[in-house]
Amino acid sequence: MHNIDELHPHEEPTLPYTPDTSDVPERQYWPLAATFWIDVLVIGALVVVVNIIAGIFLAARIMQSEVPLFDSMGNVDMRQLIELMGTGVFSLLLLAQFLIFALVPIARITLLRRQSLAVIGFTASRPLWLIVQGVGIGVLMLLINALVSYFFVAQGISQNQLDQLPLFQGDYIGQLLVGLLVVVVAPISEEILFRGYAFNAFLNQWGAPAAYVISSLLFSIAHSLSVTQGLLALLIPTFIMGLILAFIMHRTGNILPCIIAHAFNNGVAISLAITCINNPNAPLCQS
């Protein structure tokens, strides 16, 4: 038997080729504050497409229905339109929009920029303490919203955001479905977009004051599309809510307490709405 080294005494073992990248410059990306506006356009376009599809479905239902779509004042009866669309289809429409809010920023960070989601606040440090902070901030936001809402109601101004949801007396499955969207899906998707993406992008580019104002203003404007009356009564408390959530994002660097606080606030609001829909004569629902 011959040793392999004896058969090829002068050959060196072949190693995998590793290119020298020491002189190759690291890829440069646009600032997130710039790509954010591009992604806003992408999100807007996708939402429009989803709404066009929903509009086509609703138009078909209207043609098949003989139910009047206008109230006594000649205005479109939104509740009637929601009933025609159905809780399931309306919920799918909301789900699609919320997924667009979340997936576009995630795709930007992970697929296009090849970065960690820690860039937009997904870190795993001290989760229990972050949850406690989120609940505390949620209680604070609830109290502030109650005070601001009371002020507007005293001035005869009330908004009808919850009236635009497919919540009907006795429809417990539909109420559960809408509740999950409002309490779970909406806080996650909106916090990814407005605090994780927008706030951090503007914070790194233009500083804290701009980040607070712009992210909260965008958050408030996005919610303004869900009311047909009392716009001011929704814009102002939502802007304040955005500032508070931006503060906790800035303070912790983590998106988890923002999601928890947002979910807590939405959970109380939707629970009261469902309670009053199913029990309209309850003392709490008389105001």
Q: What is the pLDDT of residue 257?
A: 96
Beta partners for 70?
A: 76
Domain range enclosing 40: 31-285
Cα–Cα distance, 90 to 68 (Å, whole number): 20
Q: Label residue 13 by pLDDT band (50, 70, 90).
A: low
Could you tell me if residue 26 is inside a domain?
no
Tell me phi and psi for residue 155, to 5 degrees. -90, 5
Cα–Cα distance, 186 to 100 (Å, whole number): 11
Q: What is the pLDDT of residue 265?
A: 94
Q: What average pLDDT score do residues 30-50 get?
A: 95
Q: What is the pLDDT of residue 24?
A: 46
User: Which range (22-31, 55-64, 78-87, 97-106) has the least confidence?
Assistant: 22-31
Q: Is residue 181 over pLDDT 90?
A: yes
> Token pair of 220, please?
């408030």
Residue 131: count other Cβ atoms within 10 Å of its Cβ: 15
> Token pair of 162, please?
């919850």
Q: Helix, strand, or coil here: 274? A: helix
Could you tell me if residue 247 is inside a domain?
yes
Could you tell me if residue 3 is inside a domain?
no
Q: Position 48: which residue type?
A: V
Could you tell me if residue 36 is inside a domain?
yes
Q: What is the pLDDT of residue 142?
A: 93
pLDDT in tens, 121-164: 998 788 899 999 999 999 999 999 989 988 988 888 888 888 88
**Residue reference for tokens 């307490």:** 257
Considering only residues 23 and 255, tell me which one the structure prediction assigns the higher pLDDT: 255
**Residue reference for tokens 């928890």:** 260
Provide DSSP, 197-266. Answer: IIIHHHHHHH-HHHHHHHHHHHHHHHHHTT-SS-HHHHHHHHHHHHHHHHHHHHHHS-SHHHHHHHHHHH
Q: Is residue 188 over pLDDT 90?
A: yes
User: Which range (42-46, 183-187, 252-256, 273-277) has the least confidence?
Assistant: 273-277
Could you tell me if residue 17 is inside a domain?
no
Q: Label residue 61 by pLDDT band (50, 70, 90).
A: confident
Could you tell me if residue 139 is inside a domain?
yes
pLDDT in tens, 194-234: 999 999 999 999 999 999 999 999 999 998 887 878 888 88
- When divided into structural domains, the chain yields a total of 1
Q: Is residue 287 over pLDDT 80?
A: no
Cα–Cα distance, 56 to 248 (Å, whole number): 41
Q: Helix, strand, or coil here: 76? A: strand
Q: Label residue 8 by pLDDT band (50, 70, 90).
A: low
Could you tell me if residue 11 is inside a domain?
no
Whole-Å CA distances, 80 to 58, 71, 75, 87, 159: 11, 10, 11, 12, 19
- pLDDT averaged over the chain? 86
Could you tell me if residue 23 is inside a domain?
no
